[in-house]
Amino acid sequence: MTSLTISPTDLQGINDQVVIVTGASSGIGLATVQLLLRHGAKVFASDLNDMPLPEATQVSFMKVDVTSWDQQLAMFKAAVRAYGAVHHVFGNAGITMSNTLLEDTVDEHGDPVPPSLKTIDVNVIGILYTVKLGTHYIRQSGEGGSIVLTASESSFSRFQATDYTVSKHGVLGLLRALTTNLQPSTSTSTSTPRIRINAIAPGWTATGILPSLVLDTLGPGAYQTPDVVARSVVLLMADKQRHGQMVYSNKGSYYEIEDGERGFIQHGREILGEHYGDAIEGLRRIRERMEEAKVREEGGRGGE
């Protein structure tokens, strides 16, 4: 875990860049829009709800439900129409817990009913759509760029909100899986797209997702304001060296907890020792064999 400080000069690289923000009308998304505007970015904002003033007059905006592929596709196309390119995407829209799986709900026959998948739909399916479209449109810009995902402290803790915690572990999984499939624009390799991917993991933050009762229970000093989190988002976009990182923010302090000294990736190596390398190498070889098998199968079909 590496502590970091973020100064305004660290954010200068975002000037003139085109950024799409989902979940932009409130909380962390809105604070990020405000910070992006202050640093000269061109913002395309989206949310289920309208943007508040004055930001509503300063950004392009589209009402979008992130669980709809068609609506997200329309958002990316509209951003390209408005600004000519997409450089960075902030996949941020999210909702709180829908169920713990332990509610004993039954139908009229007394049979258990399936759990609501609403949180999974917004927090996982929504972000998968954002990333899929984001990689397509950032690639089209030809200049490289980055994606920032909103994970959470619950991505790496035993938080009791079951489906929410599952969803945020999913976001961390997405970061880890794509880190090796993408690469920074500073890389010279031509085999993988030049798109960086990073995540933020906010601790308790005073936003629309947390009822005031929760904030009162936590007490002052136990939570941070969303402008703190926004700085970690813009840093990850602006700093071209950052790739595969997750910045945890808690009570106003920042820690990089994936790649940093004693971060989770390093920790995995320490727990598994040489087996860690074996596992990574084993997975790489399996993936190569699967690709080979697919090519052969397609070749075989072509020859019929």
Least CB distance from residue 296 to ligand NAD, whole Å? Answer: 42
Question: Whole-angstrom Cα distance, residue 126 to residue 119?
Answer: 10
> How far apart, in Å, are the Cα atoms of 214 and each of 23, 178, 228?
21, 34, 19
Q: Which positions from 94 through 133 interact with ligand NAD, judged by CB under 6 A?
A: 94-95, 122, 126
Rule CB under 6 A: choose which of 37, 82, 85, 210 binds ligand NAD. 210
Question: Whole-angstrom Cα distance, residue 14 to residue 290?
Answer: 39
Question: Whole-angstrom Cα distance, residue 248 to residue 36?
Answer: 20
Query: Is residue 252 near ligand NAD by the rule CB under 6 A?
Result: no
Comparison of 119 and 183: residue with beta carbon closer to ligand NAD: 119
Contact stretch for ligand NAD (CB under 6 A) within 21-29, 32-40, 251-259, 267-275:
21-29
CB 63, CB 72: distance < 8 Å: no
Least CB distance from residue 95 to ligand NAD, whole Å? Answer: 5
DSSP symbol at 15: T
Query: Is residue 208 near ligand NAD by the rule CB under 6 A?
Result: yes
**CA angle, corner 191, sides to 186 and 192, nearest 5?**
65
Q: Which positions from 150 through 169 interact with ligand NAD, judged by CB under 6 A?
A: 150, 152-153
Maximum distance among all alpha carbons in the chain? 71
Least CB distance from residue 138 to ligand NAD, whole Å? Answer: 20
Query: Is residue 92 near ligand NAD by the rule CB under 6 A?
Result: yes
Chain mean position to CA 38? 22
Query: Is residue 32 near ligand NAD by the rule CB under 6 A?
Result: no
Query: Is residue 204 near ligand NAD by the rule CB under 6 A?
Result: yes
Least CB distance from residue 164 to ligand NAD, whole Å? Answer: 7
142: left (phi over 0), alpha (psi -120 to 50) or beta: left
Pairing of strands 195-202, 60-63: unpaired
Comparison of 95 and 280: residue with beta carbon closer to ligand NAD: 95
Rule CB under 6 A: choose which of 11, 19, 21, 28 binds ligand NAD. 28
Please classify residue 259 by burial: count the beta carbons closer than 10 Å to its beta carbon, then call 0-12 exposed, 13-18 middle and 19+ buried: middle
Contact stretch for ligand NAD (CB under 6 A) within 23-31, 73-81, 109-117, 254-262:
23-31
Least CB distance from residue 106 to ligand NAD, whole Å? Answer: 28
> How far apart, in Å, are the Cα atoms of 158 and each of 107, 126, 155, 162, 168?
31, 23, 9, 9, 12
Rule CB under 6 A: choose which of 18, 19, 41, 66 binds ligand NAD. 66
Binding site for ligand NAD (CB under 6 A): 22-23, 25-29, 47-49, 64-67, 92-95, 122, 126, 150, 152-153, 202, 204-205, 207-210
